[in-house]
Structure 1
Amino acid sequence: MKPFLPKKAEHIAFGLILAGMMTFFVSGISTAIALGVSNPGLVSKWMGSWLTTWAFAFPIVLFVAPLVRRILHRIVLPE
């Protein structure tokens, strides 16, 4: 795949992909625990849960990431 995003959009794309992947797995695990793996409605409930949590997680990741970077710069030793 040929790159197509400008460098200034990298942090937004990072947040979008990170939030999407994390919420996909976490919502899947939570939904499976709540409904049971053999539940016939598991996948549809999971996808609904995933989209909802992704919609919340994406802006939260964009907001929290700079704070996490500042914290890490204070606690990680320089090389």
Structure 2
Amino acid sequence: MIPARFAPSLFALILSGVMSCVVSGVVSLKALGPVDGFLGIWIEAWLFAWAVAFPSALLVAPVARKLVARLTISPEKP
């Protein structure tokens, strides 16, 4: 198991992997259509996108957390 202190980084790794996979697949299909070799093209695009998405997620996450905290109301403590 991985120590809990790595949870934010692991979350960013998993989320960026899934999101970049979905987005690169949709965009590749839209741009190219169902061509021969599509799966290989998609995988190549996905790996490149993930290499950009993971560090981006690590950098943007703290800013996003602060923004969400400002835009939401915390429940009152009893």
TM-score (norm 2): 0.93
SS at match of 1:26: helix
> How many Å separate the matches in 2 of 1:78 and 1:15?
24
Q: What percentage of aligned pairs have identical amino acids? A: 37
> For this pair of structures, how many residues does the alignment match?
75
The offset of 1:62, in angstroms, is 0.4
* Code of the aligned partner of 1:36: G
Deviations 1:25-71 (A, max 9, x none): 0000000011102x112111000000000001000000000000001
- What residue ranges of structure 2 are gaps of 5+ in the alignment? none
Q: Tell me, yes or no, if structure 1 residue 58 matches structure 2 residue 57.
A: no
Moved over 2 A (4+): none
> How many Å separate the matches in 1 of 2:61 and 2:17?
15
Across the aligned residues of Structure 1 and Structure 2, the Cα RMSD in angstroms comes to 0.6
TM-score (norm 1): 0.92
- What residue ranges of structure 1 are gaps of 5+ in the alignment? none
> How many Å separate the matches in 1 of 2:30 and 2:56?
25
> How many Å separate the matches in 2 of 1:78 and 1:12?
25
